[in-house]
Structure 1
Amino acid sequence: MTEEPESGSYVEPGAEFKRDQRYITTRVTADGRDGYPVEAGRYRLVVSRACPWANRAIIVRRLLGLENAISMGVCGPTHDKRSWTFDLDPGGRDPVLGIERIQEAYFKRDPEYPRGITVPAIVDVPSGAVATNDFAQMTLDLSTEWTAHHRPGAPELYPEALREEIDEIGSVIYRDVNNGVYRAGFAGSQRAYEAAHRRLFERLDRLAERLSDQRYLVGDTITEADVRLFTTLVRFDAVYHGHFKCNRAKLAEMPVLWAYARDLFQTPGFGDTVDFDHTKRHYYEVHRDINPTGIVPLGPDLRGWLSPHHREQLGGRPFGDGTPPGPTPVAETVPLAHTPWGAD
């Protein structure tokens, strides 16, 4: 997620929204070919629970059981023009990296770093520098390069036999859904907004059709494709429907996608990573050019996320031959009040 000016200027009048996709593309790999070898305890995953792109990495790390191999630093839900900050930590500093802002790790990598300061980012702890912020490749590498540190029973989220299909559907999900909600929300003209809105819901309709008779997007188990779709769907009614004007229908009014999203939410490793309070605070407080007052809505009612979904009737095995992850580490537990389990 790219940082923007403190004034909250996210919309370019008269223009379509175009995301800056220039990332630090060095990779953490088993053979260390980019200078960053896989090594337990060496790296820190820096995230914000508000960010859908970071939420992908949080979910994959948890499903694969990499908590003991890669530590996690959590930034607060809001930021200014400089950077996400570690305002949730005592003294406002990350306890491992010793920094107040993730920006400092970017400048360790490149003192003249010219692009957006984004999360998720994997930081090389010994040097204090960002190793990569390429969020799309990051989760694939967690699945394929970190296998020596996967928990027993970890699922195959990117199985070799299905990679072409996962990549294909992941591409359209990114283009039309993950980034599509932003293209609608940050559109600078009526024409750009309407085109993005139509494209988004046309894709959601196609995905609903695909999921009407199969439990998961690719194959009969959870894969990377499901993770990528989930992080947008789980934010849809809380943020994108109103704040981004993606309002042809709420997720809760799209029966197939709503049941699919609830199925994943109730699967260990998905819903237990979601912080609705942080999500709403980020979007409504930071994007002041489309929400000038900064008022954060109280709704929607979260309790529906825990209602029966009946998707198990379609078959499928969530973790394939593997097993669910264990309980969330205490230090990484989302506050109960920020979840459906703690909803009034």
Structure 2
Amino acid sequence: MHNLTSTVRVVQNSPTSIDVEYGSNILTINYHSLFLEVFAKLTQCTTGMSGLCGTCDYNKDNDFVISSGSTVSMTDITQHTINTNYANYWRMGTNVGSGFKYEFDGLTEPQNTNGNTFVLAFNGSGAYTSQLENLFGTNGDATIQVKFAANSATGLILAYYKQTSVSIYLNGTVHILWGDVKIDTDYTAQMGVWYQVSLTYTHSTNNLIIYILTNGGMQWWKQLTVQTTALLTGGTFKVADWKDNAPIVFQHFNGRIAEIQTWKTSLDIYRIMYTSKTLLTKQFTDLTSLWIFSKGYNYVALDIINHYQLIIPSKDVYWWPSDLVTDGNPPSTPENETLKVVSERKCREYFMESSIPSVCGQLGEASFTILL
């Protein structure tokens, strides 16, 4: 702690965070590798402020800052953005009670979130990873898992490709493509319901087991023998869409995808059921990649094990608050959480959990970010 004056002092919270305290006002500055985050808690923020939970200076024309750094006045937003550009793509739902709730092509922005993490919502485009090494066991054993909630009955959910490929997709029912072997599970996924599909492969016996689970438990499973070793190291994931060099013609996936994870072992049924309902963290030594979409920057989502990149297109893919029900506690916010996560989290905490008037009346805080 360092006293600058009799009323102003600096308190170091960590090697990358300090508080500047002056009276009952606190200015928190967090250093990150690419930016500074500044969080101001000001006593002047009261119910008498004119802006929407903005800069606390009673000026509603500088509350909204776009990516270029320019401000947009409240008048322009009301008359132009909402009534034209915004209204072209989004519509306010009816019978939502207090707060706002918007809908877009079958996707509904939740009025409240459970705070677990985010998922990715796909509506016409897909994502892909960087090259992935050492995802599977040296003995050839492997497990691939993905959670999805579909808005249509067709589309690629997840594919792994290196010379040959393994794909999970919808074509009326849930299908698996293992090398050249096409497997129709005859199981129909209900729209909007979260499912986990797990593929476990034992190399010594060529056994492939397919599991389909919901939060209510096991829905379908099957064991079969496959001859193709399709999971070669050094491949990439294709998520929700695959056009170039695809083994078959896939439709793009419309819906949400969450919790993509791989293991270097063939999980048994007990661990499959555990992972279907528990939010995982890094503590499992056999876990080789895990995307829970709590870590990323710009158009990149990082897995929390090895920081493998999932490249997200600039349109038709959205970071979406998770409504997955899990038994585990939400992961703690990492010290180096990135700009996109910070902005998404704070926006949803402040504006989605209650109506704007009640938030602004009680919040008493404002935050902004300075890019370096």
The two structures have a TM-score, normalised by structure 1, of: 0.26
For the pair shown, which has the larger CA radius of gyration, 1 or 2?
A: 2
More strand as a share of residues:
2
The two structures have a TM-score, normalised by structure 2, of: 0.25
More helix as a share of residues:
1
